[in-house]
């Protein structure tokens, strides 16, 4: 029988290209639709608030599908699951572009999000299978590059397509990529043997997972719009979600054939790696939210220029990926992860020195510097996560770690907007107290403008608002900076060696 761990496709780099393109397409799609939301809502005749369900429906179903990846893999096999996910993702992408109403679009986006779930974990698993043991760091480094670049390219591409063509094309562009990727991966990997099992379906586990994770994702996506726990809807959904998730954990730990293998967290490296990946990605994601938001709302940048200011973050990961992939195994991966956290933390602390006079070049240079940290982030931590897993556990662990990474991004998205707006209100109130007839500086400033007219006071209030948002942005970058520094301590709880000796990614007959 062929050694599954040593499987080599007829054309290695063609297989790698197809796997990477499929993953790039999936990660890109999670951000590309965001900038087109106002246009989509306007064209389909709904409010902007209703239009946000285009994002929420995708996120909810994607979050549900990710933890199920391990079970899908055992049932259908890695290759069939990957090909099936790509084909259905491509079909639902076409249907999203073809949708004639918001209801249709939301349904197709929900299906698209569900089929997108297994794509990243399966790409990761298949890359580990086709690369020899000595080059698996290269496989993970390549995948990390895709994970970093796609979210940067997404908003810029989405804005350009929407401005120059029409919004359906942000979905139609997936069709040729999906067809190419599915055909190539199938022809390159179909001769590889796989073992599948038909264990009983854990219906209770699935029901609790769908209810708990689905409602949690809705709460995170809609919390800011509904003013969080001031809304009875948020309170009810949060309560049901919490009860469902606690019940899910208890049920799965006692189930003989769990739908999600939570026992993986008994492994020290998987637990520490997943915590580091989740918190590190959440902080990284928060930077990608607050920086463009601040530039567009307070600094007068257009969406395209805000995207260009953030884009240099992807330059160094592109250049450094081959080097990291080749030489990373010669170092203690905890050192590389620490370097990542140190650099990204330092970049946040540098941004905490910004003021409203900061120019485009300075912002771009700090983004470029942060790229060093990003380059060293995904590959070392992913290797630590998977270091003690073998056989079918790799797909299960990859799906579970990706789920927590995505959930971390959802928490970051909600908390960033909430903290940023709350701190602005706090600073605005403090600064406004200084504008009174009892403050000689304020009186002198207004006199130079021509007196305390309504127009002049409105101008002063606008200036105070801009400075309050600047102070709020500084506060948040301080939090992120020291958060990254704290993760340096966490990652050192992982235990070497981090080189797996088994046959990762290839389900053994025992599973």
Provide the residue ranges of all domains of the chain, joining segments of one domain with +.
1-196, 202-258, 264-499
* Six-digit token string for 393: 């556990």
Helix, strand or coil, per DSSP, at residue 391: strand
Which comes out higher in pLDDT, residue 234 or 443? 234
Average pLDDT value for residue range 33-42: 75
- The residue to which tokens 């771009």 are assigned: 364
Q: Backbone phi, then psi, for 194, in 5-degree steps?
A: -140, 150
Position 507 scores a pLDDT of 35
pLDDT above 70 covers what percent of the chain?
93
Distance CA 174, CA 116 (A): 12
Identify the band that residue 511 occupies on the pLDDT scale cut at 50, 70 and 90. Answer: very low
Helix, strand or coil, per DSSP, at residue 505: coil
CA-wise closest residue to 393 among 292, 505, 317, 305: 505
Helices (H), 299-392: 303-310, 315-327, 333-351, 360-375, 378-386
The number of C-alpha atoms within 13 Å of 387 and in the hemisphere containing its C-beta is 25
User: Could you report the per-residue pLDDT of 291-332, keeping only the tens digit for each?
Assistant: 888 888 888 887 678 878 888 888 888 788 778 877 777 888
CA-wise closest residue to 403 among 179, 211, 175, 217: 217
Q: Residue 359 is inside which H or E element, if any?
A: none
Average pLDDT value for residue range 80-89: 94
Position 502 scores a pLDDT of 38
User: Could you report the per-residue pLDDT of 330-375, keeping only the tens digit for each?
Assistant: 888 899 999 999 999 999 999 999 888 899 999 999 999 999 998 8
Domain over 264-499 is classified CATH 1.20.1250.20: yes
Distance CA 335, CA 341 (A): 10
Report the CATH number of the 1-196 domain: 1.20.1250.20
1-196 and 264-499, same CATH topology? yes
Q: Does the pLDDT of residue 510 top 80, yes or no? A: no
Average pLDDT value for residue range 183-210: 84
CB 32 within 8 A of CB 223: no
Average pLDDT value for residue range 28-48: 75
CA distances from 271 to 250, 264, 265, 278, 427 (A): 18, 8, 5, 11, 39
CA distances from 452 to 60, 337, 348, 431, 436 (A): 51, 55, 39, 17, 10
End-to-end CA distance of the chain: 18
Q: Which residues contact 396 (CB under 8 A, 6 or more apart)?
A: 69, 70, 73, 260, 261, 264, 389
Computed from CA positions of residues 369, 158, 420, 309, in that sequence, does the dihedral angle turn out positive or negative? positive
Residue 180 backbone zone (phi > 0: left; psi -120 to 50: alpha; other: beta): alpha
Average pLDDT value for residue range 399-426: 85
Note the pTM of the prediction, 2 decimals.
0.82
Distance CA 202, CA 206 (A): 6
Q: Does the pLDDT of residue 477 top 90, yes or no? A: yes
Distance CA 502, CA 504 (A): 6
pLDDT above 90 covers what percent of the chain?
25
* Six-digit token string for 294: 């601040």
DSSP letter assigned to residue 504:
B
Distance CA 379, CA 336 (A): 9
Enumerate long-range contacts of 369-372, CB under 8 Å, 24 or more apart.
369/343, 370/287, 370/313, 370/343, 370/344, 371/312, 371/313, 371/314, 371/315, 371/316, 371/317, 372/316, 372/320, 372/339, 372/343
Average pLDDT value for residue range 125-143: 77
What mean pLDDT, rounded, does the chain reach?
A: 83
Q: Does the pLDDT of residue 506 top 70, yes or no? A: no
CB 404 within 8 A of CB 278: yes
How many CB atoms sit inside 10 A of residue 63's CB? 24
Q: Lowest mean pLDDT: which of 216-230, 253-267, 420-434, 448-462?
A: 448-462
User: Could you report the per-residue pLDDT of 422-453, keeping only the tens digit for each?
Assistant: 888 898 888 887 776 677 777 777 777 766 67
Residue 354 backbone zone (phi > 0: left; psi -120 to 50: alpha; other: beta): beta
Listing DSSP states for 213-256 in one string gives HHHHHHHHHHTTTTTGGGSHHHHHHHHHHHHHHHHHHHHHHH-S
10-34 as b/e: b if 16+ CB within 10 A: eeeeebbbbbbbbbbbbbbbbbbbe
Q: Does the pLDDT of residue 199 top 50, yes or no? A: yes
Average pLDDT value for residue range 48-55: 72
Distance CA 297, CA 304 (A): 13
Average pLDDT value for residue range 259-271: 88
Q: Does the pLDDT of residue 3 top 50, yes or no? A: no
Distance CA 482, CA 480 (A): 6
Residues facing 504 on adjacent strands? 391
* Six-digit token string for 197: 């099992």
Identify the band that residue 95 occupies on the pLDDT scale cut at 50, 70 and 90. Answer: very high
Identify the band that residue 181 occupies on the pLDDT scale cut at 50, 70 and 90. Answer: very high
């Amino acid at each position: 029988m062929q050694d599954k761990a040593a499987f080599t496709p007829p054309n290695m780099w063609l297989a790698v290209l197809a796997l990477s393109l499929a993953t790039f397409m999936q990660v890109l799609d999670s951000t590309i639709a965001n900038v087109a939301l106002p246009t989509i809502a306007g064209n389909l005749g709904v409010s902007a608030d209703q239009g946000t369900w285009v994002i929420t429906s995708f996120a909810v179903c994607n979050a549900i599908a990710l933890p199920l990846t391990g079970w899908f893999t055992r049932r259908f096999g890695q290759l069939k699951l990957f090909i099936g996910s790509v084909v259905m993702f491509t079909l639902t992408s076409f249907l999203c572009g073809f949708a004639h109403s918001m209801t249709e679009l939301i349904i197709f986006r929900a299906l698209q999000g569900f089929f997108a779930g297994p794509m990243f974990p399966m790409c990761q698993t298949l890359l580990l299978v086709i690369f020899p043991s000595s080059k698996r760091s290269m496989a993970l480094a390549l995948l990390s590059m895709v994970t970093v670049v796609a979210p940067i390219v997404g908003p810029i591409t989405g804005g350009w397509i929407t401005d120059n063509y029409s919004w359906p094309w942000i979905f139609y562009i997936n069709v040729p990529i999906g067809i190419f990727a599915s055909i190539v991966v199938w022809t390159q990997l179909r001769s590889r043997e796989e073992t599948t099992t038909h264990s009983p379906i854990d219906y209770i586990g699935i029901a609790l997972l769908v209810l708990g994770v689905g409602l949690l994702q809705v709460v995170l996506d809609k919390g800011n719009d509904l003013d969080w726990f001031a809304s009875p809807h948020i309170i009810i959904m949060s309560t049901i979600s919490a009860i469902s998730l606690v019940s899910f954990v208890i049920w799965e730990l006692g189930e003989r054939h769990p739908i999600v293998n939570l026992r993986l967290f008994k492994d020290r490296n998987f637990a520490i790696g997943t915590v580091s990946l989740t918190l590190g990605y959440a902080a990284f994601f928060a930077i990608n939210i607050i920086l463009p938001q601040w530039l567009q709302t307070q600094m007068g940048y257009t969406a395209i220029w805000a995207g260009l200011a953030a884009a240099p973050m992807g330059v160094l990961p592109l250049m450094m990926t081959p080097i990291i992939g080749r030489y990373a195994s010669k170092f203690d991966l905890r050192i590389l992860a620490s370097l990542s956290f140190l650099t990204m933390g330092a970049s946040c602390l540098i941004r905490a020195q910004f003021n409203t006079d900061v120019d485009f070049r300075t912002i771009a240079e700090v983004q470029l510097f942060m790229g060093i940290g990003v380059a060293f982030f995904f590959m070392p931590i992913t290797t630590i996560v998977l270091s003690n897993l073998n056989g079918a556990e790799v797909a299960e662990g990859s799906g579970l770690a990706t789920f927590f990474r995505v959930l971390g991004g959802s928490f970051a998205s909600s908390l960033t907007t909430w903290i940023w707006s709350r701190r602005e209100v706090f600073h605005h109130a403090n600064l406004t107290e200084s504008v009174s007839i009892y403050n000689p500086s304020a009186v002198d400033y207004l006199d130079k403008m021509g007196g305390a007219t309504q127009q002049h006071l409105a101008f002063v209030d606008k200036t105070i608002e801009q400075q309050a948002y600047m102070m709020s942005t500084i506060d948040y970058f301080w939090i992120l900076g020291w958060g990254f520094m704290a993760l340096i301590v966490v990652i050192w709880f992982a235990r070497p060696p981090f080189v797996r000796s088994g046959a990762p990614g290839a389900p053994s007959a025992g599973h």
